[in-house]
Amino acid sequence: MLELYHNSMSVCSQRVRLVLREKGLAAKEHHLDLRAGDSLTPDYLKLNPSGVVPTLLDNGAPIIESAVISEYLDEIAPDPALRPTDALGRARMRIWAKIPDDGLHAACGLLSNAIAFRHQYLAMARDALERNIASTPDPARRERKRQGIEYGLDAPLLPPALGLYDRTLAKMEEHLARTQWLAGADFSLADIALIPYVQRLEHLAQDWMWRERRPAVTRWFAACKARPGYGAIADYLVKPAVALMADKGAEAQAKLRALADSERDVGQQRL
């Protein structure tokens, strides 16, 4: 029996749910309230020592890390295949699939907090907020969270985070201008790895980053959303969170456009 410890709006949970839906696999769901610290309880830390979601249990055996869980599910339920059949294709698929762990996930967390979720955190009592930030086990993640909440759009880590997103979309555009899906002719774990991160930008009202300048990404994202498996995201949306991201994202747009342009200039100077 499969069990999934997850959170409705978390991008890594969305990634694993997308795989489950594409495969038609059912899992018993355990929803964790991350703000309430559900992922930091001693019992959960035994399953996932990093104190994060998602965690998959297969007959009681825990599997962590959304990238690893995704490949695991494709191995135990190979039909329909979500990995290319040849080794070279799989290597190419994995290059895309590792992008979140190479920095995009951190960038996504920072942007989400700096634009939108800081407003929820700042409504907390100061000592409760301090305890919440201090309980984040990983020091780098803790610092990103603090910056996003305290400084919002002025967080020093915000411009590089936006720059990384922009470069990732540019890479996707270049590739998708030539192929239907990221790893070639077939939808795969490469697409699934990136969908939640593009979706988060859209929720944060920053879809101008592809709609205005990247037709291939625009075509790809529409095709991803048209798949039945997209219910893994759409069926779990939390309305107040989506509304907060849309409102605060719209307010932030002008500043983020200017920041993205100056990051692009800095990138070009470095070349």
DSSP for residue 31: E
* Candidate list 4, 12, 193, 205; residue touching ligand GSH; CB under 6 A: 12
| Residue of closest CB approach to ligand GSH | 52
R_g of the chain computed on alpha carbons: 18
Residue number with CB closer to ligand GSH (157 or 216): 157
Long-range CB pairs of 89-94 (<8 Å, 24+ gap) are 89/183, 89/184, 92/183, 92/184, 92/190, 93/182, 93/183, 93/188, 93/189, 93/190, 94/190
- x/- track of binding to ligand GSH for residues 175-214 (CB under 6 A): ----------------------------------------
Q: With residue 57 as reference, give the H or E element that holds it.
A: strand 55-58
Residues 50-109 interacting with ligand GSH (rule: CB under 6 A): 52-54, 65-67, 101, 105
Closest CA relative to residue 30, chosen from 21, 10, 19, 131? 10
Residues 31-60 interacting with ligand GSH (rule: CB under 6 A): 34, 39, 52-54
Contact 162, 260 (CB under 8 A): yes
| Residue 10 in the binding site for ligand GSH (CB under 6 A) | yes
Residue number with CB closer to ligand GSH (66 or 206): 66
| Residue 11 in the binding site for ligand GSH (CB under 6 A) | yes
Residue number with CB closer to ligand GSH (168 or 184): 168
Three-class SS of residue 245?
Answer: helix
Question: Bridge-partner residues for 3, per DSSP?
Answer: 28, 57
Residue number with CB closer to ligand GSH (190 or 259): 190
Q: Distance (Å, rounded) from C-alpha 90 to C-alpha 68?
A: 14
Binding region for ligand GSH (CB under 6 A) out of 8-16, 121-129, 164-172, 239-247: 8-16
| Residue 232 in the binding site for ligand GSH (CB under 6 A) | no
Residue number with CB closer to ligand GSH (245 or 260): 245
Find the shortest distance in angstroms from Cβ 105 to ligand GSH.
6
Contact 43, 86 (CB under 8 A): no
**Could you list the residues that contact ligand GSH (CB under 6 A)?**
10-12, 34, 39, 52-54, 65-67, 101, 105
